[in-house]
Amino acid sequence: MEFGYRGQYASQHASQQMNMDFYSAKGGEHELAQAYIPFQRYVTSFPPKEALRMGTMFPELVRPYHKSKV
């Protein structure tokens, strides 16, 4: 049985994988020797001028830097 890939590259566990993105419930969800960045969900956004000022429209991607004094 061939698994097509039009937007659904994952195996039949795709939707489960999406929901268990942030941790590995059974040991087998995430494989060893592989990197996993969680998928971002679009929740809210800054308005345009603030987005430009912040460097992103997505509040959850903001990582402020505090200038080092030493």
Partner 1 sequence: MWIYEKKLQYPVRIKKPDARMAKCVITQYGGPDGELAASLRYLAQRYHMPIPEAKAILNDIGTEELAHFEMVGSMVYQLIKDATIEEIKKEGFAPYFADHDRAVFPSTGTGVPFTAAYIQSKGDPVADLHDDLAAEQKARATYERLIDLADDPDVIEPLKFLRQREIVHFQRFGEALRKVQEYIDSKKYY
Partner 2 sequence: MMDLRCKMLDDIRAIEFMAVELNLFLDINPHDHRALNEYNDYTRQLHELKYQFEQQFGPLTNFGYSYSLHHWRWIDRPWPWESC
Contacts with partner 2 by CB under 8 A lie at 7, 39-40, 42, 45, 48-49, 51-52, 56-58
Which positions ≥6 away from 44 have C-beta within 8 Å? Answer: 58, 59
Residue 24 within binding range of partner 1, rule CB under 8 A: no
- Which of partner 1, partner 2, none has residue 44 at its interface (CB below 5 to 8 Å by kind)? none
Spatial separation of the C-alpha atoms in residues 17 and 50, rounded to whole Å: 33
Site string for partner 1, 26-65 (x = CB under 8 A): --------xxxx-xx-----------x-xxx-x--xxx-x
Contact predicate 51/45, CB 8 Å:
yes
Integer Cα distance of 19 and 4 in angstroms: 21
Find the shortest distance in angstroms from Cβ 19 to partner 1: 14
